[in-house]
Amino acid sequence: MATTDEPAKPTRVSKAATARVARAYLRAISEHDLAAAAACWAPGGRETIHGQVETTAPDGIVAYFSAILDAIPDLRLEELSCTAEADRCTIRSRMTGTFAGTGRLQGVKPNGARIDLEIVDNLVVRDGRIVANDAYLDGLTLARQIGVLPPDGSPAQQAITRAVNARTRLAATGVSGLEKVADGVWRMRGGLPAKDFNVYLLEEADGVTLFDGGIRAMANAVAKAGARLGGIKRVVLGHAHPDHRGVAARLGVPVLCHEADRADAEGDGGVRYFHLDRLNPLARRVYPTLLRRWDGGPVPIAGTVAEGDEIAGFRVVHLPGHAPGMIALFREEDRVALTSDAFYVLDVETGRPRPPRLPHPAFNHDTDQARASLRKLAALAPAAAWPGHLGPLTGDVRAQLEQAAGT
């Protein structure tokens, strides 16, 4: 008789069987039987208790809960609800106990505090063993119960709230409100005392594109402004210098730049080619501290842009020199240019406004190339050029840029 090879039918997973394994695991923990708890896991399974630990079975499971039981020797778990479907099971539990053991909890010495909070475990079971668990506990309540935070509504908690609000007010003094500079284009300025770092928010149908990343202290204000305009969906760096990528790593959105600046955006921000010895003695001393204060740190680059690409109705213009991958954005319909550091309108050694000029050679990758790029920008004959600091240039912008390129 002829036979044919047919693919095996997938085994139907019983949600009751899944729930049994999940419940057995949590019951074993409640009974302090860590060998039984570890036996519920497939080797190499991943246990993530968010905000606490990420570890693998079986050894990591035993080590983590051994430390917990050392701190809370009478720990118990009480099931409050259980929902299972196929290979997944979610169990909500009440965890109780006394912080009176010999081990520390989050670095805190045992103090006899009573623990009573909720935990949610989201377990994945395959072939009768747990392969993953994403667990969440009420960390704020735990911190209050063990004395890391004061009780809610207490004078100490109110003092903390006042301090946080005071810090928010102080941060706000260093950031401007939104200023509309062109159709669908908003500017936010930051930095003390003069608010001379510019970030541009470009409105689109599905959210906001941020151009230039400003300094780290602007992150919260930029996020708040972006949310009010529909939400920030991406950041496009004009270049990777520390004072132009400051907010990028803190917004949780994709970050793009020119390919030639990718390594610097993901690395030291271009500091590798700075020549601070070209500054006056005072600026030479203070700039290392300023750069660290402004910088938001390295940022993963999700993609790159190139000459001629379209960004929020603007065209990418590659202007290397100040940075190898520096770009401007130019919009043909109203001849608005967002120019990052293609030119300066301030003296970086004193902070004072100045007529447009080439970027300071202390921070240039190639000053001759920066000069050629400034002439390239001038040839576009912008009606308005909005730079990375202060600005803008209006009037006969082309003549002003050509003059700056010749100096």
Q: According to the model, what pLDDT value does residue 177 have?
A: 80
End-of-domain residue from the set 125, 154, 183: 154
> Is the residue at 1 inside a domain?
no
Cis peptide before 324 (omega within 30 of 0): no
Residues 208 and 131 placed together within one structural domain of the fold: no
Q: What gap in Å lies between CA 141 and CA 351, rounded to an integer?
A: 47
Instruction: Name the token pair of 320.
Output: 């290397």
The one-character DSSP state at 9 is: P
Q: Across-strand partners of 357?
A: 344
Which of 92, 123, 154 delimits the end of a domain? Answer: 154
Is residue 399 in some structural domain? yes
Residue among 262, 202, 189 nearest 232 (CA): 202
Nearest Cα to Cα of residue 131 among 122, 143, 120: 122
**Residue-level pLDDT at 61:** 94
Query: Contact at 8 Å (CB) between 95 and 76?
Result: yes
> When comparing pLDDT for 275 and 170, which is higher?
275
Task: In whole angstroms, give the CA distance from residue 3 to residue 180.
Answer: 75
141 and 255 together in one domain: no
Quote the pLDDT of residue 11: 52
Q: Do 261 and 206 belong together in one domain?
A: yes
Q: 173 and 283 share a domain?
A: yes
If asked whether residues 146 and 41 sit together in one domain, one would say yes
pLDDT category of residue 172 using cuts at 50, 70 and 90: low
161 found inside a domain: no
151-165 mean pLDDT: 86
Chain-wide mean pLDDT for the chain?
Answer: 93
When mean pLDDT is compared across 53-57, 140-144, 155-159, 237-241, the lowest value belongs to 155-159
Cis peptide before 58 (omega within 30 of 0): yes
Q: What is the CATH number of the domain that holds 92?
A: 3.10.450.50
Cα 24 from chain centroid (whole Å): 38
By CB atoms closer than 10 A (0-12, 13-18, 19+), residue 272 is exposed
173 and 133, same structural domain? no
Length of the chain in residues, anyone?
407
pLDDT over threshold 90, residue 369: yes
Residue 113 inside a domain? The answer is: yes
* Residues 202 and 149 both lie in one domain: no
Q: Do 204 and 328 sit in the same domain of this protein? A: yes
Residues 346 and 319 in one domain: yes
Predicted TM-score (pTM) of this structure:
0.74
Residue 4: pLDDT over 60 = no
Residue of 337, 350, 326, 349 whose CA lies nearest to 391: 337
Based on the domain organization, do 116 and 235 belong to the same domain? no
For residue 288, give the CATH number of its domain: 3.60.15.10
Residue 2 pLDDT exceeds 50: no
Question: Within a domain: residue 162?
Answer: no
Give the C-alpha separation, 222 to 214, whole Å. 9
In terms of pLDDT, which residue wins out, 167 or 382? Answer: 382
Q: Which domain holds residue 219?
A: 169-406
DSSP three-state, residue 98: strand
- Residue from 167, 207, 166 nearest 184 by CA: 207
Statement: residue 289 has pLDDT above 80:
yes
Do 326 and 240 lie in a common domain?
yes
**Domain assignment present for 109:** yes
Beta bridge partners of 179: 187
- CB contact set of 259 (below 8 Å; sequence gap of 6+): 304, 306, 325
Q: Which residues have CB under 8 Å from 113's CB, separation 6+?
A: 98, 99, 145, 146, 147
**Total domain count, the chain:** 2
What confidence score (pLDDT) does residue 346 get? 92
User: Has residue 10 been placed in a domain?
Assistant: no
In a domain, 296, yes or no: yes
- 317 and 372 inside one domain: yes
- Per residue in 202-233, pLDDT (tens digit) is 999 999 999 999 999 999 999 999 999 999 99
**Residue whose entry in the numeric block shows the structure tokens 């805190």:** 108
- DSSP secondary structure letter of residue 146: T
Q: Given 120, 154, 188, which residue is the final one in a domain? A: 154
Task: List helix spans (H) across 105-216.
Answer: 139-145, 155-173
Q: Which two tokens stand for residue 273?
A: 């080619």
